[in-house]
Amino acid sequence: MTETVQSVHASLDLRPGQLFIDGQWLDWDGPRFDQINPNTQQVMGSFPEAGERGVNEAVAAARKAFDEGPWPRMAAQDRKRILQRFIERIYDAEEEIAKLQTLDNGIPYHLSRNTRVSAKATADVMDSYAGWADKITGETYPQFTAASNMQYMSFREPVGVVAAILAWNAPLLMFANKVGPALAAGCTVVVKPSEYTNLSVTRLARIVAESDLPPGVFNLVTGAGATGSALSAHPGVDKVTFTGSPQTGRSILLASGGNMKRLSLELGGKSAGIVFPDTRSLAATATQLMGLCSTFLSGQVCSTPSRALVHRSLLDEFVHHAAEQVKKVKFGNPFESTTTSAPIISRRQVERILGYVESGQQEGATLQFGGDRPGGDLAEGNWINPALFTNVSNQFRVAREEIFGPVLCVIPFDTEEEAVRIANDSEYGLAGCVFTTDVTRALRVARAIRSGSIGINGYASVPNAPMGGVKSSGIGREGGWPSIEAFTELKTVNFNLDA
Ligand code: NAD
């Protein structure tokens, strides 16, 4: 595994990380940090810790480009064409970008290449947003009173300088979901990738940098929390769009108050998958729920239903099918097509998840399997064997807090009302799903769950439908028109027709 990762890394044209500010790649004379591969612990590159100084320069460039430059004032067709031209280049570099994403966060290459987090999906999403550029319209209003002869109309204008702060688990897709609508709306942007996923985002940034965007419209700063914090507090930023943990989301909310920044926060979840006795196939349902926690990103997905609310009559059979699913999990070389699951992003997060496994047992849940680390050749990777807890009370920490790892908690219920009550007894409200063949119940329960989205007999988000959270899962929605709306402000103009 180590040799493969090394040789893929060596085969790509990787330069030491730089900042991209005001149309220039800058060598950085300040502090730097190393990015570590989660499969092998090898160093993948060294990147600038932009800190306050780098952020100040990037925001100043974005501010100038917004206040004085052509981008927000450009004809919509011209703006769209510039976007479409660089999006084509993302399609051309699909394979290389997918490899970089694998080197970044360890997602198996075949999943990095072919799923909804791929470079192709990223380009598709950006293309969809580019298409909005010439469809952003205001309204006119009928005269309200005969006392004045005024015509009222509204214009939808770009919100201004946008700080886009990304999480690590789907870095390409997050880039598309933030930079795509912001640029289409005419904003200027400063992007900060997660400190764990600089390779893939920097490659995307290179494509954007080589486009016909005017200087200062797109800027990239790298760094960890201090850089993100400087960016979200900066008075020159008009809007922060953030994906990450609720804890960081809260600190951004506080830091952004200084100049009343607009905020979109896509945060964590503790979603429920509710399994009724009339689910079409219990084997398929259990496989799906355990699969979401054990394959792909190993449960490190915000919308994963990490609480399985299972009707009491189904418990033993559910556990049996979940155990069968876990037998199909294969860790190892991320460039092998048989590898099913990404490692945990960092050693720190491994320790955190193991702490939850311990806490679940201490509180009285039964660990049916997993929750330990594989040994041998796999010990160098950050894997944790997928864990299933039964006898879980919804009051246990493992049921209340977002673990963000391969841990599924099974909570029994007897009635539909009880299932809904348990699902809603959470500080989160991001997603969820309900498994039943009773269509009336399916819709009734879907409506009763307090969450930003919910699936019936499965769950998959798509980028052209809104996604986001209620309660501690966030503020705002990403996807389709709501995303464009979130990067604009409405201005009302009243026109005195008698003057
Ligand atoms: P994180 O909050 O640790 O980091 C996210 C980003 O914030 C990183 O770029 C980080 O450097 C930056 N950051 C850290 N401290 C900061 C501060 N004080 N001010 C500003 N920026 C700061 O989250 P993570 O571990 O990268 O991602 C996992 C979390 O993201 C999970 O909670 C997951 O549920 C959530 N997530 C949500 C969605 C969604 O669409 N709702 C999607 C993916 C991930």
Residue 170 CA, closest ligand 1 atom number: 43
**Ligand 1 mutation pick, 175, 245, 451, max ligand atoms within 8 A of CB:** 245
Give 147's pLDDT tier (boundaries 50, 70, 90): confident
187 carries an active-site annotation: no
Let me know the angle formed at the C-alpha of 189 by 183 and 190, rounded to the nearest 5 degrees.
Answer: 155
Residue for token pair 């503790």: 270
Instruction: Give percent above pLDDT 70 in the chain.
Output: 100
Residues 199-217: tens digit of each pLDDT? 999 999 999 999 999 999 9
Pocket-forming residues, ligand 1, beta carbon under 6 Å: 165-169, 192, 194-195, 224-225, 228-229, 232, 243-245, 248, 251-252, 266-269, 302, 402, 404, 430, 469, 474
- Closest by alpha carbon to 64, among 215, 183, 199, 208? 215
Give 352's pLDDT tier (boundaries 50, 70, 90): very high
Contacts of 495 (CB under 8 A, 6+ apart): 150, 151, 152, 153
pLDDT over threshold 90, residue 463: no
**Average pLDDT of the residues of the chain:** 97
Residue 224 CA, closest ligand 1 atom number: 11
Residue 76 resides in a domain: yes
Domain co-membership, 262 together with 276:
no
Asked if residues 442 and 434 have their Cβ atoms less than 8 Å apart, the reply is yes
- Euclidean distance between CA atoms 408 and 388, whole angstroms: 5
Longest dimension (CA), the chain: 84
Q: What is the pLDDT of residue 299?
A: 98
- Euclidean distance between CA atoms 88 and 72, whole angstroms: 22
CATH number at residue 297: 3.40.309.10
Residue 192 CA, closest ligand 1 atom number: 9
Domain boundary among 215, 236, 267: 267
Q: What is the pLDDT of residue 439?
A: 97
- Torsion of the alpha carbons at 279, 282, 285 and 291, rounded to the nearest 10: 170
CA of 414 to the centre of ligand 1 (A): 36
pLDDT over threshold 90, residue 146: no
CA distances from 295 to 211, 292, 327, 405 (A): 37, 6, 11, 10
What residue owns the CA closest to ligand 1's atom 42?
302
What residue owns the CA closest to ligand 1's atom 13?
225
- Report DSSP letters for 26-55, one per residue: E---S-EEEEE-TTT--EEEEEE--HHHHH
Q: What is the pLDDT of residue 58?
A: 98
- Euclidean distance between CA atoms 103 and 171, whole angstroms: 12
What residue owns the CA closest to ligand 1's atom 9?
194
pTM: 0.97
Domain co-membership, 232 together with 284:
no
Residue 496 resides in a domain: no
Domain co-membership, 50 together with 101:
yes
CA of 90 to the centre of ligand 1 (A): 25
Residue 193 CA, closest ligand 1 atom number: 9
Helix (H) or strand (E) holding 477: strand 477-478
Q: What is the pLDDT of residue 461?
A: 87
CB-count exposure of residue 137 (10 Å: 0-12, 13-18, 19+): exposed
CA of 245 to the centre of ligand 1 (A): 4
Q: Flag the least confident range among 62-76, 157-171, 396-410, 454-468.
A: 454-468
Instruction: Give percent above pLDDT 90 in the chain.
Output: 95
Q: What are phi and psi of 192, to 5 degrees?
A: -125, 110
CA of 178 to the centre of ligand 1 (A): 14
Residue 486 resides in a domain: no
CA of 429 to the centre of ligand 1 (A): 17
Residues 366-424: tens digit of each pLDDT? 999 999 999 999 999 999 999 999 999 999 999 999 999 999 999 999 999 999 999 99
Domain boundary among 248, 267, 286: 267
What residue owns the CA closest to ligand 1's atom 6?
167
Contacts of 254 (CB under 8 A, 6+ apart): none
pLDDT over threshold 90, residue 239: yes
Q: What is the pLDDT of residue 493?
A: 97
pLDDT over threshold 90, residue 265: yes
- Report DSSP letters for 381-442, one per residue: TT----EEEES--TTSHHHHS---SSEEEEEEESSHHHHHHHHHSSSEES--EEE-S-HHHH
Domain co-membership, 344 together with 224:
no
**Ligand 1 mutation pick, 35, 105, 165, max ligand atoms within 8 A of CB:** 165
Residue 397 resides in a domain: yes
Q: Residues 187, 293, 302, 433: which is the catalytic one?
A: 302
Residues 425-455: tens digit of each pLDDT? 999 999 999 999 999 999 999 999 999 999 9
266 carries an active-site annotation: yes
pLDDT over threshold 90, residue 13: no
State whether the Cα torsion 315-316-317-320 is positive or negative.
Answer: positive
What is the pairing mode between strands 272-275 and 433-435? parallel
Domain co-membership, 253 together with 315:
no
- Euclidean distance between CA atoms 41 and 54, whole angstroms: 28
CATH number at residue 131: 3.40.605.10
CA of 169 to the centre of ligand 1 (A): 9
pLDDT over threshold 90, residue 1: no
Residue 290 resides in a domain: yes
Within its chain, how far is the Cα of 168 from the centroid?
8
Q: Sheet holding 407-413: strands in order across? A: 366-369, 387-390, 407-413, 307-311, 272-275, 433-435, 455-456
Q: How many domains would you assign to the chain?
A: 2
Domain co-membership, 401 together with 295:
yes
State whether the Cα torsion 375-402-162-116 is positive or negative.
Answer: positive
What residue owns the CA closest to ligand 1's atom 43?
302
- What DSSP designation does 343 have? P
Q: Residues 49, 266, 402, 478: which is the catalytic one?
A: 266
Residue 469 resides in a domain: no
- Euclidean distance between CA atoms 178 and 478, whole angstroms: 8
Q: What is the pLDDT of residue 258?
A: 86
Asked if residues 382 and 38 have their Cβ atoms less than 8 Å apart, the reply is yes
pLDDT over threshold 90, residue 247: yes
Domain co-membership, 39 together with 20:
yes
What are the residues facing 491 on neighbouring strands? 155
Domain that holds residue 358: 272-462
Residues 17-39: tens digit of each pLDDT? 999 999 999 999 999 999 999 99
- Euclidean distance between CA atoms 185 and 136, whole angstroms: 8
CA of 300 to the centre of ligand 1 (A): 12
CA of 244 to the centre of ligand 1 (A): 2
What is the pairing mode between strands 387-390 and 366-369? antiparallel
Residue 249 CA, closest ligand 1 atom number: 2
Residue 472 resides in a domain: no
Give 115's pLDDT tier (boundaries 50, 70, 90): very high
Domain co-membership, 347 together with 413:
yes
Q: Where in 276-386 does DSSP place strands (E)?
A: 307-311, 366-369
CB atoms near residue 93 (< 10 Å): 16
Residue range 457-465: mean pLDDT, rounded: 91
